[in-house]
Amino acid sequence: MPLTDRGRAILQRLPAGAFSSVGSTGCEIVRHDELCVGCGRCATACPSGASSRGDTFDVNQLLDAPEDSRRGALGAALRRIARHDPAGPIPVPERVSVYRTIVYEAEKCLGCGTCVRACPAEAVEARAPEVPA
C-alpha cells in the first residue's frame, strides 16, 4: 500500500537512517539495473531518500538491457559501432532525464518496498529479511 501524504511527512522529519537501530525489520531491496528504464518512479516514491536519480549514466545498462526494450535497441545500435567496451559512467546533461543511473543508498533504506510497487519494469526486487537464528 502506498504511503499517505501524512505518513511521508512524518518519515521525512526523521533523520535518515533513524530506523537502522531497529535491525532488519524491512525487506532486503535488490536492484536489477539492466531492467531499469530510468523513469525515476522509485526515487519519487521513496520515503527515506535512499533511491535517487544520479548525475551519471552507466553505459553498460544499455548493452545489458533486454533486446525488445528501448534501451536494448539503443544498446544494439551502440554495440554495432563500438570500438571498445564503455569506459566508465558518463556525466549526463541536465535535460536528459531518462538515461540516468538510479543511485541506491542501502544505509538510508527502510526496506519498506515502496520502490518495488512503484517500479513499472520489475527492476526492483524485495527479498524477505533474514531472520536471525
Partner 1 sequence: MSATAAEVKSAVAPVTGASYEAVRAAAGNDTAERAVVAFCCRECAYAAADASANARTPLPPSVRLVLVPCSGRVGPLHLLSALAEGADGVMVAGCLEGQCHYREGNFNAIDRVAFVQRLLKSVGVEPERARMFTMSAGEPPKFVAAVREMDRAVRSLPPLERRPACR
* Binding of residue 37 to partner 1 (CB under 8 A): no
Torsion over CA: 43, 46, 49, 51 (sign): negative
* Binding of residue 74 to partner 1 (CB under 8 A): yes
The candidate with the shortest Cα–Cα distance to 109, out of 51, 36, 39, is 51
* Binding of residue 59 to partner 1 (CB under 8 A): yes
Of residues 2, 22, 70, 106, which one binds partner 1 by CB under 8 A? 70
3-state secondary structure of 119: coil
Of residues 9, 22, 73, 103, which one binds partner 1 by CB under 8 A? 73
3-state secondary structure of 53: strand
Chain contacts with partner 1 (rule: CB under 8 A): 57, 59, 62, 70, 73-74, 76-88, 90-96, 99
